[in-house]
Amino acid sequence: MANRKDSRIEPSFEGPPQARSQPGLSVSEEDRVVPSNRKASARRKSSKAKSSRGGRGRSRRGLFGVLGRLFYWCFVLAIWGGIAVAGVVVYYGAKMPAATTWSIPDRAPNIKIVSADGQLLANRGMSGGEAVGLHEMSPYIPEAVIAIEDRRFYSHFGVDPIGLSRAMVTNLIGGHFSQGGSTLTQQLAKNLFLKPDRTLERKVQEVLLALWLEHKHTKDQILEMYLNRVYFGSGAFGVEAASRRYFGKSARDVTLSEAALLAGLLKAPSRLSPARDPKAAEERSQLVLAAMREEGKISDKELKTALSAPATRAPSYWTGSENYVADTIMEELPDLIGDVRGDIVIDSTVDLNLQKLAEQSIRRLIDESGKKLNVTQGALVSIDDSGAVRAMVGGYDYSTSQFDRASEARRQPGSAFKPFVYMAALEAGRTPDSIRNDAPIKIGNWTPDNYGGKYFGKVTLATALAKSLNSVAAQLTMEVGPNAVVEAAHRMGIQSELQANTSIALGTSEVTPLELTSAYVPFANGGYKPDIHFIRRITTAEGKVLYDSGGGSAPRVVKPEIVGMMNSMMTGTVEVGTAKKAAFAWPSAGKTGTSQNSRDAWFVGYTANLTTGVWFGNDDGTGMKKVTGGALPAQAWHEFMVAAHEGVPVRPLPGTWKSTPADTIVPDDIPSADNNQPAPVPSASVGQQAPSAQPTQAAAPARVARPAQTVDADGFNMPADDGTTASVGHPVPPGNVGGPLKKRKQTSILDILGGG
């Protein structure tokens, strides 16, 4: 039995346990029971659930991983950024002077301006102001300054992160620098110790010095130092000087509206100065008052009272036209030497005797004829051949109006612009003997009538310029193109934007007397364009030279032969043309100009020593009563130039030109101009040396007067320079272009602006 038992064959079964437990049961492969679908489904669901939980876990772990990595790298970058910032601070901080030298000066420096002959021209800097304690000055002043400049002054630590962030966002959105984030402490640090350069080095050092100031001084001390040193425009440093400058009173007595005006100047002292632009200053002061009300510094009643009674300016205690020059010098000073750290002496180019002479001439003519001719203002600029300004009068009376009409007022030059038209024509191949037909013409909707309605028919260009014929100037502009005229004017020294249209022939684009006069200088010195300057040298009180204009060389901007032809033609303006009242014993040339309805009257003329421009008109643009450039301007020019040339040896104008007509008188013994002609040197008694690159020209006999010739009209054919029919690239209008004029009309300003 044992053997049987041992020989029993056990079924090969891998099924469920309960099946295996039954003895004697044998199941074939085909008889296997298929597992329950429910259990298999349960297993699948369990597997899916595990997979889903694992996926969500991995997703969460992935998100946290990305955030973690981002936080990690931001932290790393922040550390390296902090290290870089610290490195920059340490680097620029190491370049600062030792802290022992950070002493605050007792007062703002004085600026002494002297004339070319050593006379005192002006004293600026403190300008009569003294340091005023914060408790002494009107309380409205510090309140107004804090409200508009630094609202968190008493809460920040010298640097205002909120204000800086706001300024950065505003500048980024605007795409340009329009708002600053500097605190009053930073501004004081810059004014006391640093240069005005907009560099990273200066900004870092400004922050460090601001922190030092906050550590060493109280808020009230910082504010007091700031108010006693900051620039308020028109040469006034410190609140006391500004109060006396604008209101004729001490800072102790300033009213609310006056304090608002002073605080408003700090954004742009020169541009917003009430002496320059009263309207802009008043608009800015209203913003200050609104800021004070918003900050709770003033009540609604005080705001209403201040708005209804704006600040009024007192006549300046600075009198004399030389202060126009002093103001201009003060504007240029920061660009030449940066912030003034100590007392300095400025040697100007201005001759005080000539300055007084120019002022007297302008005032006398207005006093005598102002009411009768409706003239209230005048300006005069005189420049020698080296570009040194020898005299500049910016208005009738500096004490009542500090607006500089010589360097800031842009007015239409009228026919005084025509020399650039004729110069462009000469450079295109014309000559003074070229003939054009002076007759009524119409170009588009523009009819450039001659003054007085008189026409001369066929005339030479010399005659046309001497008699200031509008018709011929318009024709030449069409021939050479307005762009050529604009290019010539800019090349000679005009800086204002010029409109390149046909009406530019009559001077419709506005310019300042200073730039128009400077653009005539190359005619006087042989074709060279010098740098126009008011300052010769700047030294410390101890004599150390901080700036020297030097001699230097001036570039040639017009050929000698063109200079000779232009001088020959413009001599006719003085001898037989529209400026006969300007003639005196020296060889001279120039051009008159009168804008529409006599709003502006000009004469710009020159000798081999001086170029002088004179303007008369009214600030509000109202017309004068038939005042032309050949009247008051020519008279003022004559008076000034006669006195300026007294005792000076006579010298001829540079360049010569021989006319082809037989009736033209030109001496045979004067050599013709060539490209090697040197620039003349002005007389020592009248101006500085001309550019050092050019040698001195020996004196030559004065040219015999060559009157401009008028040719009778016998038709409308336009001969060219060689006597044949004209053939030029641009159209040459005949006298009847546009059809016959049934009734001649006066040129209106709308016609001029819309013409061409």
Active site residues per annotation: 149, 415
- In whole angstroms, what is the distance from residue 472 CA to residue 464 CA? 6
Which DSSP string do the residues of 686-721 spell out, in sequence order? TS-PPPTTSPPPPP-PPPPP-PPPB-----S--B-T
Chain-centre distance of CA 247, in angstroms? 28
Phi, then psi, of 39 in degrees rounded to 5: -70, -40
- In whole angstroms, what is the distance from residue 716 CA to residue 437 CA? 7
Which DSSP string do the residues of 211-278 spell out, in sequence order? HHHHHHS-HHHHHHHHHTTSB-STTBBSHHHHHHHHHSS-GGG--HHHHHHHHHHTTSHHHH-TTT-H
Which DSSP string do the residues of 49-84 spell out, in sequence order? HHHHHHHHHHHHHHHHHHHHHHHHHHHHHHHHHHHH
- Residue 646: left if φ>0, alpha if ψ -120 to 50, beta else—which one? beta
Which DSSP string do the residues of 157-208 spell out, in sequence order? SSS-HHHHHHHHHHHHHHTS-------HHHHHHHHHH-----SHHHHHHHHH
Q: Are strands 344-348 and 111-114 parallel, antiparallel or unpaired?
A: parallel
Quick one: which of 501, 448, 494 has its CA closest to 470? 448
CB atoms closer than 10 angstroms to residue 462 = 30
The beta strand positions in 385-501, using DSSP E, are: 389-393, 435-438, 457-460
Q: Which amino acid is at 209?
A: L
- In whole angstroms, what is the distance from residue 194 CA to residue 205 CA? 8
- In whole angstroms, what is the distance from residue 341 CA to residue 344 CA? 9
Tokens of 396: 């009738």
